[in-house]
Amino acid sequence: MTFIEESLVDKVRDITSELVARWHMGTVELLKTAIEHEMGHALCNCLDEDKANYIAQNLEHNRSISIQATPR
């Protein structure tokens, strides 16, 4: 199950402003980055943040990904 921060899909003024300031991205880019990262977790079937980030970067740049999924 994946959860996306509510303020990325529905303006929650204080939280949205905090996220934009912290990550130096607009809300659309933040949402895209969050979805790519969560897709990384799903594609590698793992909780490893580094693997998810690696896959997200490849998705962002439209690169092929090669992963070895770990069955659960």
- What pLDDT digit, counting tens, does each position of 32-44 carry? 888 989 988 888 8
43, part of any domain: yes
Helix (H, G, I), strand (E, B) or coil at 12: coil
- Tell me, yes or no, whether 51 lies in a domain: yes
Q: In the chain, how many domains are there?
A: 1
Q: Is residue 7 in some structural domain?
A: no
Range(s) of the domain holding residue 43: 33-63
Q: Does any domain span residue 55?
A: yes
User: What are the C-alpha distances in Å from 18 to residues 2, 6, 22, 31, 55?
Assistant: 22, 13, 6, 14, 26
Q: Residues of the chain whose pLDDT is less than 70?
A: 67-72
Evaluate whether residue 59 is within a structural domain. yes
Runs of H (alpha helix) within the chain: 13-23, 27-44, 49-60
pTM exceeds 0.85: no
Indicate whether 44 belongs to any domain. Answer: yes
The pLDDT value given to residue 24? 94
Residue 1 maps to a domain: no
- Residue 40 covered by a domain: yes
